[in-house]
Amino acid sequence: MEPHKGVFTTHRPRRLRSTAALRDFVAESNLRNARLVLPFFARPGKKLRKPVTSMPDVFQLSPDQVLRDAEGAFKKGVKAVLLFGIPDQKDEQASGAYAENGIVQETVRVLKKELPELLVITDVCLCEYMSHGHCGIVQKTGKTAQILNDPTLAILAKTALSHAESGADIVAPSDMMDGRVRAIREKLDHSNFLHLPIMSYAAKFSSAFYGPFREAAESAPQFGDRRSYQMDARNANEAVREVELDIAEGADIIMVKPALAYLDIIYRVKETFKYPTAAYCVSAEYAMIKAAGQKGWIDERAVMLESHLAMHRAGADIIITYAAKQLTEWLKG
């Protein structure tokens, strides 16, 4: 029987009902293609492993223990790490951030000496090194306090250069000061680090999902909050403008943070700029899944895999996640 005249007809593709191998072969997104980055919290000492109570399986580690865990993750397939530093002493100039013998600088040297093929990324921020916990220099006037953007840029650039001189493969400014990518790029270029990439936290939102990180990095602000320099969660168009500015200033990789709660931003950024795009699965996004899994309320493995697949499907080429080692093991299983 012929179709009725004027009615559009088409053949619907047959749904694939066969093997898992065939389904994998035609899958549009595959988490195995994402580059996973494992964060570490380094602090001075030896044989130090201090659990982060709000983040299961995450620790503050001395450099020798960072090496041990990074080597184990590397053997499982995690080829990149992101370093945060927690100094013994803090001040209002963040002097530990750029010290030649600073904790990040020391840890980078240890990792690059023992694991030269490991990609070492360093977080460039000042909050962990500031006695007040903010990401920039603070000027107090009476009961009010103001973050001084431009004076902070020089410290950030000096910190990034010290990481480069220690052997970092990529520097990642996370402070959200205006103009910091340009300041870092110029500092690196003038010091003959012309080819050292910058991975910019380009769209970093002021988020409640950072809660457990404050414990891990010991970086909670002693007063106020960071809403004056981190992005408003209500603004998507602003995120696109922020990314565009960072690209113009010299960013090689752009990042959206948080990840799971901001999949729409990841998608818009990737579709707009076609740049290498990272997403940071932040502390609470990780901890909630771990906690619910430990309670037996969810299948931790399935939810963790699905949530990271969503980040990759949204456009993230690179995923920074505390679950990186677990994910590589599960993906091989």
Annotated active-site residue in 90, 187, 204, 325:
204
Whole-Å CA distances, 137 to 24, 88, 130, 156, 191: 51, 19, 8, 11, 24
3-state SS, 281-324, equals ECHHHHHHHHHHHHHCCCCHHHHHHHHHHHHHHHCCCEEEECCH
Active-site residue identified among 90, 187, 257, 290: 257
> Is position 204 annotated as part of the catalytic site?
yes
Name every residue whose Cβ is closer than 8 Å to that of residue 319 and which is 6 or more positions away in sequence.
34, 35, 36, 37, 259, 278, 279, 280, 281, 308, 311, 312
Categorise residue 4: left if φ over 0, alpha if ψ from -120 to 50, beta otherwise.
beta
| Residues designated catalytic | 204, 257
